[in-house]
Chains A and B, each alone.
Chain A
Amino acid sequence: MLNKKHWLLLASAGALTLTGAANAATLEDTVERGAVQCGVSDGLPGFSAPDGDGNWQGLDVDVCRAVAAAVLGDADAVNYISLNAVERFTALQSGEIDVLSRNTTWTTTRDTTLGLNFAGVTFYDGIGFMVSRDLGISGADELDGAAICIQSGTTTELNVADYFRANDMEFDPIVFDTSEQTVGGFQSGRCDVLTSDTSQLAALRIQLDDPNGAVILPDIISKEPLGPVVRQGDDTWFNIVKWSLFAMLNAEEYGVTSENVDEMTSSENPDIARLLGQDGNYGEGMGLEADWAYNIISQVGNYAESFDRNVGMDSPLEIERGVNALWNQGGFHYAPPIR
């Protein structure tokens, strides 16, 4: 006779089988659905926010668009699910979304204990400083004794304290609750320095009465690599997301843009020919067509285009490439070759 324990075991085994079955077929499910289920933030300047026409825009959003272009040939075939910080991993684990592209920092705990995989880095973030231009400060090592405006409840506070202790400097923390208050505190002169993640500093700077009166220092004092996340257990899908990002980086490296991609299809350069599917089908291993990278580049653009459009010099945020430049231009972005 079956007792209660057996029933429970059976039920959980059933649940596991269901989960496994659903996990392994993300690509097939996506093709059948005709759209990529992509989790984005509920509004973060430059990374994901709806524009005036209700279309999502941003660096994180472009990852979703790239995956949709590679898989379905249509960058607009994305269902955007807006998620807050708490529910983002649950939504991915439960299968509500297939890609999480929501300024998520890649850490050991998240990568190893949640049943998730990080598929690369879209933006090397970290804590930076903004100072008033009048102070004439050029580096973080000149900040000894400064009054620093910090937004409470974030890890920023701890990281700043660590940095100052490690460099044997002193600082006077002034903690605020919201970003508006933090900006207000900096503006009214209660602190000399405002600190936050560099991706946020640019958004805070715009809100100043005189954005040009403040400069963002080049130093970054902590590691916050942001990237897209997928579920563990479906390596095909993991590869698709990973290589969609690499395709954008490689395109920048080879000088292929959304403007010139059609001319580039006849390029003699073997790297470009392989990228654009003119020399063998490198999408085959992922279950994609040969023109997967061509679709990404023609519809979304290469990494530089996406960066400039959303957070870089062509956007109101005006974030410098800095560490987010390619490896051969002094940055960290290094995509493995397509061959």
Chain B
Amino acid sequence: MIHNKTMIDQRPAPSNTLGPVAWLRANLFSGPLNTLFTLVGLYVLYLLLVPTIQWAFINADWIGTTRADCSREGACWVFVNARFTQFIYGLYPRSEIWRANIVFGGFFTLIAWLAIPRLPFKRWVAVFALVGFPIAAYVLLHGGYFDLPRVPTHRWGGLMLTLLLASIGMIGALPIGIVLALGRRSNMPIVKSFCVIFIEFWRGVPLITVLFMASVMLPLFLPSGISVDRLVRALIGLTLFQSAYMAEVIRGGLQAIPKGQEEAAAALGMSYWKRMGLIVLPQALKMMIPGIVNTFISLFKDTTLVMIIGLFDLLGIVQAALSDSNWLGFSLEGYVFAAFVFWIFCFSMSRYSQYLERKLNTGHKR
């Protein structure tokens, strides 16, 4: 009898189960059907990617100032380059752009501050971001105070306007949505029916109708001496519309919280607002992060609809630039640029929400 008491040394897995080749074999070429699909897929990808890359990079023109600098064989990024300032700031006067830059800088600093966990004073920064900053931004952008020349809102535009519409819409829609969601679950008949009617009305009409009403019908109802700024009209319409959607998303979260949670809080003697603010809402909001971010992203993209009421958001200013007779026929470049900018913002929002979900995960995930 042979007793081998020494253990065999650990050895790496066989080479045909490791490395990229093995991965390829296991995932892409595991059988004749899979191999066929892989090859067809690669061929389709080749057909799509090669001309796209050639158009966007290899044959593209990057340097120049006029349409004569474009060979027309590939994309003419000269157009985007020449109009870049306008795409970002709209028709904001060139000499006053520093004001918009300060607002941009403040905006991104605040967002970064709130998003990066290591930085201190989160609570105070949040209060400033929600109260102080909007006022400061308005004073800076609109002017008329502290000797700043007035820049009327019809000159605002581009990415600046898109971000402004989206962030004010988000900041407004979330609290209104929470209140509406709580109201809809309330036992008080007047509060409840008001919330139900409000939500169902705003969810029942398309956003484009709301904007048209705000821009075409509303001025006719107001006496002609009084006119509400069209940006304000659009903002109110957008916020109310989105808050109805937000309310339903949050109500979904509220319903997912077991009733025992609220009852336990009540048994501890907590008032309604404490029960909601400390026990129910933190859990519900956390659970609804995907839904809330979903609504935010759709709001961000919906802001392009303000184009139909003559406000030049990012897409609107791209289209207006396309109608400059010096730059006719570069619509593809303009639209690709707009799509790219929108994608960057929406994708970052989506990534941040996934990070937030992981961070706030307390083991409730099913």
Q: Which A residues fall within an 8 A CB radius of B?
A: 14-15, 18-19, 21-23, 42-46, 49-54, 57, 79-84, 86-87, 90-91, 93-96, 180, 183, 203, 206-207, 209, 310-311, 315-317
Please judge, given known A-B contacts A95-B227, A316-B326, whether A87 and B320 are in contact too, CB under 8 Å.
no
On whether the beta carbons of A50 and B86 are closer than 8 Å, the reply is yes
Contact A53 B310 (CB under 8 A): no
* Chain B, residue nearest A89 (CB): B216
CA distance A48 to B323 in the complex (A): 8
Which chain B residues lie closer than 8 Å to A86 at the CB level? 212, 216
CB neighbours of B155 from chain A (8 A): 54
Tell me the complex Cα distance, A51–B82, Å: 10
State in angstroms the CA–CA spacing of A333 and B93 once bound together.
36
A207 CB, nearest partner CB in chain B, Å: 4
- A91–B212 contact, CB under 8 A? no
Judge whether B90 is part of the interface by a CB distance below 8 angstroms: yes
Q: How far is the CB of A241 from chain B (nearest CB, A)?
A: 19
Could you tell me the distance between the alpha carbons of A282 and B103 in the complex, rounded to whole angstroms?
49
Q: Are A87 and B325 in contact (CB under 8 A)?
A: no
Could you list which residues of chain B lie within 8 angstroms of chain A, going by C-beta atoms? 72, 82-83, 86, 90-94, 152, 154-155, 212, 215-217, 219-220, 222-225, 227, 230, 307-310, 312, 316-317, 319-326, 328-329, 331
Per CB-CB distance, the 4 closest pairs between chain A and chain B, nearest first, are: A43-B323, A94-B219, A207-B329, A43-B320
Cβ of A94: which chain B residues have Cβ within 8 Å of it?
A: 219-220, 222, 224, 227
Specify which of A18, A96, A317 is in contact with B219 (CB 8 Å cutoff): A96
Q: Which of A19, A83, A183, A311 contacts B310 (CB 8 A)?
A: A83
Cα distance A315–B94 when bound, in Å?
25
Inter-chain contact B319/A81, CB cutoff 8 Å: no
A residues near B212, Cβ cutoff 8 Å: 86-87
Q: Which single residue of chain B is at the shortest CB-CB distance from A93?
A: B220
A331 to chain B, nearest CB (A): 22
Query: CB distance A54 to B324 under 8 Å?
Result: no
What are 8 A-B pairs with beta-carbon distances under 8 A?
A43-B321, A43-B323, A45-B325, A54-B155, A87-B212, A90-B217, A96-B230, A311-B325
Q: What is the bound-complex CA distance between A46 and B215, given in angstroms? A: 26
Query: Using Cβ atoms and an 8 Å threshold, which residues of chain B touch A315?
Result: 325
B319 touches A43 (CB 8 A): yes
Pairwise interchain contact B224-A22, C-beta atoms closer than 8 A: yes
Please measure, in the bound complex, the distance between the C-alpha atom of A123 and the C-alpha atom of B351, giving whole angstroms: 53
Give min CB distance, A268 to chain B, whole Å: 40
Bound CA–CA A15/B226 (angstroms): 11
CB pair B319–A42 under 8 Å, yes or no, is yes
Question: Do A44 and B83 have beta carbons less than 8 Å apart?
Answer: no
CB neighbours (8 Å) of A19 from chain B are: 223-224
B155 to chain A, nearest CB (A): 8
> In the complex, what residues of A have CB within 8 A of residue B310's CB?
42, 81-84, 87
A45, B328: Cβ atoms under 8 Å?
Answer: yes
CA distance A266 to B148 in the complex (A): 42
Q: Which residues of A contact B324 (CB under 8 A)?
A: 43, 45, 49-52, 57
CB neighbours (8 Å) of A316 from chain B are: 325-326, 328
Of the candidates B82, B152, B308, B325, the one whose C-beta lies within 8 Å of that of A203 is: B325
User: What is the chain A residue whose CB lies nearest that of B331?
Assistant: A180
> In chain A, what residue has the closest Cβ to B326?
A316
Task: Indicate if the CB atoms of B94 and A49 lie closer than 8 Å.
Answer: no
Known contacts A22-B225, A49-B325, A206-B325, then 19 further A-B pairs from the complex at CB < 8 Å, ordered by chain A residue:
A19-B223, A42-B316, A43-B319, A45-B324, A49-B320, A49-B321, A49-B323, A54-B91, A54-B92, A79-B152, A81-B230, A82-B154, A93-B220, A94-B224, A180-B331, A203-B325, A203-B328, A311-B325, A316-B328
Question: In the assembled complex, how far is the CB of residue B156 from the closest CB belonging to chain A, in whole angstroms?
Answer: 11
Chain A residue with Cβ nearest B316: A42
A44's nearest neighbour on chain B, judged by CB, is B323
Cα-based distance from A51 to B320 in the complex (angstroms): 9
Q: Are A52 and B312 touching (Cβ within 8 A)?
A: no
Given A19-B224, A42-B310, A90-B219, also A52-B82 (CB < 8 A): yes
Partner of B93, one of A54, A90, A96, A180: A54
Question: With A18-B225, A19-B223, A45-B325 known to touch, is A84 a contact of B82 (CB < 8 Å)?
Answer: no
Contact of B154 among A79, A180, A183 (CB under 8 A): A79
Residue of A nearest to B324 (CB): A49
Closest to B308 in A: A84
Contacts of A57 in B (CB 8 A): 324
List A contacts of B321 (CB < 8 A): 43, 49-50
A200 → B minimal CB distance (Å): 11
Smallest CB-CB separation from A94: which chain B residue? B219
Q: Which residue of B lies closest to A88 (CB)?
A: B310
Q: Complex Cα distance A42/B227, Å?
A: 21
**In this complex, what residue of B is CB-closest to A317?**
B325
Known: A44-B323, A45-B328. A91 touches B225 (CB 8 A): no
A contact residues around B152 at 8 Å (CB): 79
Whether B220 lies near A90 (C-beta < 8 A) is yes
Chain B residues within 8 Å of A80, by CB: 154
Q: How far is the CB of B72 from chain A (nearest CB, A)?
A: 7
Could you tell me the distance in whole angstroms from the C-beta of A142 to the nearest C-beta in chain B? 28
